[in-house]
Amino acid sequence: MSGASLASLTNQKLDTARRFIKQSQDSDEAWLKVGLESSAIFQLRSALNGLLKEVTAAYSLSGSLDVVKLLAESEDKQIVIPVLAELADLSSRTDSWCSQLNQAYLVQFECRSSMSSVVQSDNLIGRGSDAGASVSFYLTKLVELVLRFREESSEY
């Protein structure tokens, strides 16, 4: 795949997440909000993987989706890749948006209860909270990171 098609795939994931977030904010149905936010989280995590694929293609790395492995590989090749260093730092801090996005993804992936979902009645599984705002924040931060990476890599 060429770099443009990888960027296009990442952009599609980001756009899909944005649309899910918008729909969740426009919905009056709590169950639908939760489902759309979960879908947005999946798309954002996929977009993060897309960014990692863009990085591996741009720097001829192995294609791993593990930030720590990619960072070690880049250090072995004596290549400085700022986006990998930033992602490694963000992933190591539990208070960072990236770490929180990964945690939110794991909650969805493993079908666990998140702190924002509580049982209200027999016919309602859970209710949304400020998760929509959090997911919007993850989207904003990930878009900023993707744009910064693309700007930095176009300078070389």
Could you give the CA distance from residue 120 to residue 111 in angstroms, rounded to a whole number? 18
Q: In percent, how much of the chain has pLDDT > 90?
A: 77
Residue 118 pLDDT exceeds 60: no
Could you give the CA distance from residue 34 to residue 54 in angstroms, rounded to a whole number? 30
Q: Would you state the pLDDT for residue 55?
A: 96
Q: Would you state the pLDDT for residue 63?
A: 86
Residue 40 pLDDT exceeds 80: yes
Could you give the CA distance from residue 135 to residue 103 in angstroms, rounded to a whole number? 12
Q: Would you state the pLDDT for residue 156?
A: 58
Reading the block at residue 146, the tokens are 């993707």
Beta-bridge partners for 121: 124
CA distances from 107 to 25, 51, 97, 156 (A): 21, 22, 15, 38
Could you give the CA distance from residue 138 to residue 144 in angstroms, rounded to a whole number? 10
Containing 71, the helix (H) or strand (E) segment is helix 67-76
φ, ψ of residue 124 in degrees (nearest 5):
-125, 120
156 against 109, higher pLDDT: 109
What pTM was estimated for this model as a whole?
A: 0.85
Average pLDDT over residues 128-152: 86
